[in-house]
Amino acid sequence: MTDAPTKQKLWGGRFTGKTDPLMHEFNQSLKYDKRMYDADIRGSIAYSKALALIGILTKDEEAQIVNGLEAVGKEWDDGVFQAQPDDEDIHTANERRLTELIGPLGGKLHTGRSRNDQVATDMRLWLMKEVREIEAALKALIQVIVNRADKERDILMPGYTHLQRAQPVRWSHLILSYAFYFAADLQRLRELVPRISVLPLGSGALAGNAFVVDREFLAKELGFDSVSENSFHGVGDRDFVAEFMMWASLMMTHLSRVSEDLIVYSTAEFGFVTLSDAYSTGSSMMPQKKNPDSLELLRGKSGRIFGNLSGFMMTYKGIPSTYNKDLQEDKEPLFDTVDNAWASLRIAEGVIATVEVHGDKMREALTMDMLATDLADYLVRKGIPFRETHHISGRAVALAESRKCHLHELSLEDYKGLSDQFTEDVHGVFDFEASVEKRRAIGGPALVMIDRQIETLQAILNQ
């Protein structure tokens, strides 16, 4: 009868002294990497099957290990798994518990495998699942924007450059611009997946697997697109972590810019939108206040997520080849980025779905000087070069300002004094709806182009 193994760390055979308790706490990662328990169980089940295929395990041993791993996974699912003081990480904890359940046979599972290829596999498996959830949240946000744009296509508002009133546009055109930023994020996220979905398992500690496990079988079993071709690269690569955090930083930048727009437009000075109470808070001192805290937090979270990326990159840049313990610092920033990116998308979806739009306030903010470009275009259609018509239109604006009146209040004689090409139809220029509808080129705010934008976005969502 084989004696039960004494409790020791996976790497403990070489060492005779005890680990400093502070070092153990400093070194251990179970407190945060336990969230990968399901990925670790799945990877170990697949690996046990691969070991059986090459004769390291019998079919009966494989069945015992698989059943034991499933039991460990259920303990995690049910919230009853009991971590032990010597559990350094999720891999140690799961293997320790497996051995408690099925005996020394559990020790065979690690044959040819290292925590180096195991953790890289777990992280990729975990992130692949999280990316699917983030993709769903991103698509839901885009769909909410598309739905609002479709329903509110007739609302006119000022378009701004430099935060100065520029030209009349549609509210739907503004919010569809947000959707196109997020659609690009969606495309980039989908393009990330093949680079995340690369199997490291079978790379060993650094020099490959001495038992020649079928890595293509492992990839198929775990749903990976491909297998890492170089064992050094397999255990040392965290580009997928950096790339996902780069993606999240850019996506959060877009959320931050949207938030800034809505914060500005929700002020009393603009009054274009009102946030739902569900996404606002009050002041602890001023009873009248309604603060856009949801949007301010979205704006703030963008800095946090970029900070995760920049911090990790400072760690990653100086690591020698293969696995080094520095790479343990990849998990907390990645986990935090995933959590906050997903939550931010869901909050943004809620904000945009419930925001109240004040079309009357938007229309009131339209002023005739915003049609100065249309006035210049009027003369272009008469055959005058745009550089000249721009100058003439500017003189009309200056004349109206000197008269303390609006452009449409200048008389035909006033206009003829600026150019003999002005005729009685000049006052037809001063129509906001007509101005917007003239912009029917692809990308413009005319209704036909709003329809085109919606169709384009819907096609991206349906891919």
- Mapped onto helix, strand or coil, the DSSP state of residue 36 is helix
User: What's the mean per-residue pLDDT of the chain?
Assistant: 93
CATH classification for the domain delimited by 368-462, as one of 3.10.129.10, 3.40.50.300, 1.10.3720.10, 1.10.40.30? 1.10.40.30
Model confidence at 29, pLDDT cuts 50, 70, 90, reads: confident
Q: Which two tokens stand for residue 142?
A: 């885009």
d(CA 32, CA 46): 24
Segments making up each domain of the chain, as ranges: 12-111, 116-215+222-364, 368-462
Summarised one tens digit per residue, pLDDT across range 384-435 is: 999 999 999 999 999 999 999 999 999 999 999 999 999 999 999 999 999 9
Amino acid in position 62: E
**Phi and psi angles of residue 313, each rounded to the nearest 5 degrees, phi first:** -65, -35
Q: What is the pLDDT of residue 22?
A: 81
Task: With beta carbons less than 8 A apart as the criterion, state whether 331 and 29 touch.
Answer: yes
Task: With beta carbons less than 8 A apart as the criterion, state whether 141 and 348 touch.
Answer: yes
Summarised one tens digit per residue, pLDDT across range 342-375 is: 999 999 999 999 999 999 999 999 999 999 999 9
Residues with a known catalytic role: 162, 283
d(CA 294, CA 243): 27
CA angle 90, 95, 96 (to 5 degrees): 100
DSSP state of 7: P
d(CA 172, CA 176): 6
Name 119's Cβ contacts closer than 8 Å, sequence gap at least 6. Answer: 33, 89, 91
Q: What is the pLDDT of residue 1?
A: 38
Q: What superfamily would CATH give domain 116-215+222-364?
A: Fumarase/aspartase (Central domain) (1.20.200.10)
Report strand pairing: 164-170 vs 156-161: antiparallel
Q: What is the pLDDT of residue 267?
A: 95
Q: What is the pLDDT of residue 13?
A: 54
- Helical spans, DSSP H, in 197-323: 215-222, 231-236, 239-265, 293-316
Name 23's Cβ contacts closer than 8 Å, sequence gap at least 6. Answer: none
Q: Which residues pair with 273 in a beta bridge?
A: 357
Q: What superfamily would CATH give domain 12-111?
A: Fumarase/aspartase (N-terminal domain) (1.10.275.10)
d(CA 335, CA 171): 36
d(CA 29, CA 325): 11
d(CA 106, CA 287): 63
Q: Is the dihedral of CA 46, 115, 90, 82 positive or negative?
A: positive
Q: Which residue has the tokens 């603060």?
A: 291
Burial class (CB in 10 A: 0-12, 13-18, 19+), 267: exposed
Amino acid in position 133: E
Query: Taking phi first (over 0 means left), then psi (-120 to 50 degrees means alpha), and beta for anything else, what does residue 213 get?
Result: beta
